[in-house]
Amino acid sequence: MRLPASEKGLAALALALIGRPCGLSPGEQALKCASPARIDADTVRILRDSILAGGDPLGEVFAVLRSATDRRALGAVYTPAPVIAAMLAWAEGEGAPARVVDPGAGSGRFLVAAAKRFPNAKLVAIEIDPLAALLLRANVSVLGLSERTEVRVDDYRATPELPWIAGRTLFIGNPPYVRHHDIPAAWKSWFSATAARRSIRASKLAGLHIHFFFRTLELARKGDFGAFITSAEWLDVNYGSSLRELLADGLGGSALHVIDPKAMPFADAATTGAITCFRVGRRPKALTVRAVPSLGHLESLSDGISVPWKEVEKARRWSVIVRPTSKPPAGYIELGELFRVSRGQVTGKNDIWIAGERAAGLPPDVLVPTVTKARELLSAGPMLSVAEHLRRVVNLPVDLEEIDAAYRRAVERFLKWAKSAGAADGYVARHRRAWWSVLLYDPAPVICTYMARRPPAFVRNLCDARHLNIAHGLYPRESIAECALSRLLDYLRNNVSTSSGRTYAGGLTKFEPRELERLPIPALEMLCHETTTRLDTSRA
């Protein structure tokens, strides 16, 4: 089988699987005109068999051809099967819908699974990306679902009203996570106006996934129901309050399942996941909440603790409701309310990826200054201002074509040596998108040690250094005034002791990211009243 090397090639394969496409959008037509005429019949046959066997080979190829960075613009992270199965099982328990709407449908994973579970339901897929829409059409066509499927290549927020139908509509899917920085002002105004119609105050910092919930309520009728999986940050941050209010009111939140980030609900995005179930206009007396340690524990989305909505409405943060035992004392919040804590990247073989003499001649921009030893933080004092003394990590892109031609020979030489030294063989390398691509995380504004015979060192990272897994990065969830950040760091330095973490034999104390996120800290207003320069969170 020959897999396509470009998006045009992928579009050509999808079109071949569709056969005689009709009703294509202008964007899909353009892809059709640009796609190569010659396609490999064997590949088409194998893909068809794979789709019939329940796979999504086109979606998988799409995730390889379009880099994670490029997919971020539309929040295109496709959902793994166990999550879809659990959400649909819940939906089935609510009664069969007459229609299923999949907003931000991607290659149609939810739609196709819903079609199998609800054989009489009409299907509506709404997807803005014409290439994803073609993949979806191919899946739908191979599975013989075209007759009952409507594909709208459209922005979900602007898509026309749904026609009246006898029976209930199920809204199910994975709304795109696009941060507010990348949302145009016109859509932020749309969001404010939409929320205002419900008397809800909307924050301009809300991400696209929150816009999707609001549009859903506009399209839905009383009695409709739904389940969305999203990242979980909205449970706690200020800009999530509009969604919390919406669930408390018209959208009728019925259950909330928060998946532990260690479970990696999405293969290529290190993020938390929250599944929110709702019954439009019929809010139950209590919200069912559950912390889910791994995807294997998703099981029934009807399980969980019932927390009366009266209590839920009073809570400033909802993650505390999901973990009721760890409420911080009065006047305090948890560090995790302000920061996402993330362990640094793992290279798999530091002796290869921390640049030594073999890395001579590599392009300077792939040799990235990185904190590779805890002692570099311990000796830095309160801030790391310069990166010159830090070692460099070889941070090659997944697509080596991106490298300037002048450096290709040097990169090839280095990779040849790295491979002969076993760099491609270890578990970490085998589970990376490309064995040569360490993909360091974005610079964290604060880096801290987490394992030592002394309390952690919290260091303000002023030189954009990256960090390996000997340290944790603290990424602000919202912008924080620099003065407040500095006082907060002083507080942490003076108040977090070795007894706050877990001590191992030999006296080593370790803090896992989640343990750090649970540390109680004084609320920001107590730390600093002034508003000075704001810390840029755009890369967090």
Ligand X SMILES: C[S@@+](CC[C@H](N)C(=O)[O-])C[C@H]1O[C@@H](n2cnc3c(N)ncnc32)[C@H](O)[C@@H]1O
Please pick, from the candidates 110, 213, 228, 458, the single residue that binds ligand X as defined by CB under 6 A: 110
Is residue 360 within 8 A of residue 496, CB to CB? The reply is no
CA 374 to chain centre: 28
498-537 residues in contact with ligand X (CB under 6 A) are none
- Angle at which helix 109-117 crosses helix 130-142, to 10 degrees, equals 30
Please give the C-alpha separations between residue 288 and each of 178, 310, 429, in angstroms, as whole numbers. 27, 13, 40
> Cβ 88 to ligand X, closest distance in Å?
12
C-beta of 177 vs 414, nearer to ligand X: 177
Tell me the H-state helices in 221-373.
241-248, 309-314, 319-322, 335-338, 350-353
C-beta of 63 vs 471, nearer to ligand X: 63
Verify binding: residue 174, ligand X, rule CB under 6 A: yes
> Cβ 171 to ligand X, closest distance in Å?
12
Please pick, from the candidates 66, 109, 257, 467, the single residue that binds ligand X as defined by CB under 6 A: 109
C-beta of 84 vs 465, nearer to ligand X: 84
Is residue 242 within 8 A of residue 200, CB to CB? The reply is yes
> Cβ 521 to ligand X, closest distance in Å?
32
Q: What 8-state DSSP symbol labels residue 402?
A: G
Verify binding: residue 156, ligand X, rule CB under 6 A: yes
Residue 230's CB is within 10 A of a number of other CB atoms, namely 27
369-398 residues in contact with ligand X (CB under 6 A) are none
C-beta of 298 vs 459, nearer to ligand X: 298
114-153 residues in contact with ligand X (CB under 6 A) are 126-129, 132
Kindly write down the DSSP assignment for every residue of 453-507, as one continuous string.
Answer: SSPPPEEEE-S--EEBTTEEEEEESS--BHHHHHHHHHHHHHH--GGGSEEPTTS
> Mask 83-102, x = binds ligand X (CB under 6 A)?
-------------------x
Verify binding: residue 265, ligand X, rule CB under 6 A: no
> Cβ 25 to ligand X, closest distance in Å?
12
Verify binding: residue 268, ligand X, rule CB under 6 A: no
Verify binding: residue 76, ligand X, rule CB under 6 A: yes
> Cβ 54 to ligand X, closest distance in Å?
14
Nearest to 243 by CA among 295, 284, 203: 203
Q: What angle do CA 302, 304, 305 make, to 5 degrees?
A: 130
Give 417's contacts (C-beta < 8 A, 6+ positions apart). Answer: 358
Helix (H) or strand (E) holding 289: strand 286-292
Which listed range, 12-20, 32-40, 70-78, 322-330, lies at the site for ligand X (CB under 6 A)? 70-78
Verify binding: residue 173, ligand X, rule CB under 6 A: yes
Verify binding: residue 207, ligand X, rule CB under 6 A: no
> Cβ 170 to ligand X, closest distance in Å?
14
C-beta of 141 vs 174, nearer to ligand X: 174
> Cβ 174 to ligand X, closest distance in Å?
3
Compute the distance between CA of residue 451 and CA of residue 465 in angstroms, rounded to an integer.
Answer: 19
Helix (H) or strand (E) holding 133: helix 130-142
Verify binding: residue 11, ligand X, rule CB under 6 A: no
- List the structure tokens of 215: 């549009």
Residues that bind ligand X (CB under 6 A): 74-79, 102, 104-106, 109-110, 126-129, 132, 155-157, 173-174, 176, 208
